[in-house]
Structure 1
Amino acid sequence: MSVQPTEKVYIEILKKLRSIIVEDELQAGDKLPSERELTDRLSVGRSSVREALRALELLGLIETRRGEGTFIREATGHRLVEVLASFILNDEKARTDLQETRHIVIKDCVELAIMRCTSAEKNKLEELIDRMKDASVDKINLACKQFEKVIIQSCNNHLLYRLYVELTGYGSSLLRTNSHWPPEMCVEVMELFQQKKAKELTDLLSKQNDAVHRI
């Protein structure tokens, strides 16, 4: 579906608002410039600024306090994090940071998983390895994604797992790359995982991460 001109203007206003927040070094809890000041700085109509602010407020990004002004809210909700990421991850440095952070989270998860993985989870991993053999590309990719996910889940740390899910989602949609391990990588991970060779496994993950960065 094509983007209408009014939608393009709307997106531009949001991007410029984000630039103002960065330029003014505003943090959660800080007050945004007034509508009049934003109108001057953005060179758009006041009604357009008001609509953009209203949308941000509905998403939970900002809050209006009667008699005080408009303030940036704490990043507490999934929608908030997702919207912020769509703006923040527009620059190359932030994208690199995302890849690096995801790699750190995965390494921590794998180190815990080696100690905490259950017999049922190990059986599931072996089943997924078998699915990668003589299958279509789509089925192989699906099995690889599930394999990586089971490994991370078996760390038995819900917060680390949620970080992995969010970072992987942003990486796939914004970086437009397949971030999951390829089948040959899954096989190597499984072998080292079964042997509980934590250092060799984290070294393998680091090597794979370096290869991704070189692409």
Structure 2
Amino acid sequence: MENNTKVYLEIVKQLRDMITTDGLKTGDKIPSERELSERLNFGRSSVREALRGLELLGLIETRRGEGTFIRDFRGHQLVQLLSTFILQDEKAIRDVLETKNFIEMDCLRLAVQKIDDKKIVNLKNWVDQQEVLKDDEFFNQIIEIADNHLFSRIWSILKEYYHSQVSINHVYHRKDYLILLAALTEKNEEKTLSAYCHLRNLSVFNDKY
């Protein structure tokens, strides 16, 4: 079983490298099972199993008579599929939320260093113009200012995982976002994190900051 797993992972790794090397994008056709077997130097049965696994995950799709194509897996389908396996208990959901919070805090630390007067004004104007403030949209802008692609990708995935399992919408107040923005304006990391903890009602962090 261990050897089969290693073979599977190696095929998936080589497929990923091949897709990058060939410049393939969503909707593009990948080589046939026979061609992949020859190109990757693995047996056709092993390649077939790897392709089947990727198809079950929604990363590729096979169209009868046409071939196998790369799917757009950035949407909700993959998130919902994975959440079926990893978010089935309260502890897992809490872990995801806690990790999401830590990423937001790290992005605020970066934003303190990178934000300028123009971005502050734009963000304040955006907050003032919203009839209903959506927390995800606010922090998406903070993460854009932080300008860290990896944080952005992880945060987006965790956000979708969490929302796919928890239907409760927390109510946040405009004044708390404005307090957070005021701390960012001062470029004061301690005040910024304290304002974030107040917004999220994180008593443990509030004790620290």
The normalised TM-score by structure 1 is 0.56
Among residues 127, 132, 135, which one is paired with 1:140 in the alignment?
A: 132
For residue 203 of structure 1, report the CA deviation from its aligned partner.
Answer: 2.3
The 1:117–1:86 alpha-carbon spacing in structure 2 relative to 1, beyond 3 Å, is: farther
Cα distance, 1:120–1:82 mapped onto 2, change above 3 Å: farther
Amino acid at match of 2:106: D
2:146 is paired with a residue whose SS is: coil
- The amino acid of 1:170's aligned partner reads Y
Alignment CA distance shift 1:183-1:175 (3 Å): same
CA distance in 2, matches of 1:82, 1:30: 26
**Distance across 2 between alignment mates of 1:121 and 1:29:** 48
| Distance apart, 1:201 and its partner CA | 1.6
TM alignment of 1:131-170, pairs within 5 A: 131-132=129-130, 139-142=131-134, 144-170=135-161
- Deviation of 1:148 after TM superposition, in Å, equals 2.3
Give the distance between the partners of 1:85 and 1:30, measured in 2 at CA: 24
Question: In 2, Cα distance between the equivalents of 1:82 and 1:147?
Answer: 24
Report the RMSD for the aligned CA atoms in angstroms: 3.6
SS of equivalent to 1:190: helix
User: Alpha carbons of 1:207 and 1:29: their partners in 2 closer, same or farther (altered >3 Å)?
Assistant: farther
CA offsets, 1:157-199, max 9 Å, x none? 1111122222122222211233685322211111111011111
How many residues align? The count is 147
Is it true that 1:88 corresponds to 2:80 in the alignment? no
Residue of structure 2 equivalent to 1:60: 57
Contact 2:103-2:155 at 8 Å conserved across structures: yes
SS of aligned partner of 1:196: coil
Residue 117 to residue 82, structure 1, CA distance change in 2 (3 Å): farther
**Equivalent in the alignment of 1:29:** 5
Structure 2 gap segments, 5+ residues each: 9-50, 60-72, 205-209
C-alpha separation in 2, matches of 1:180 and 1:194: 24
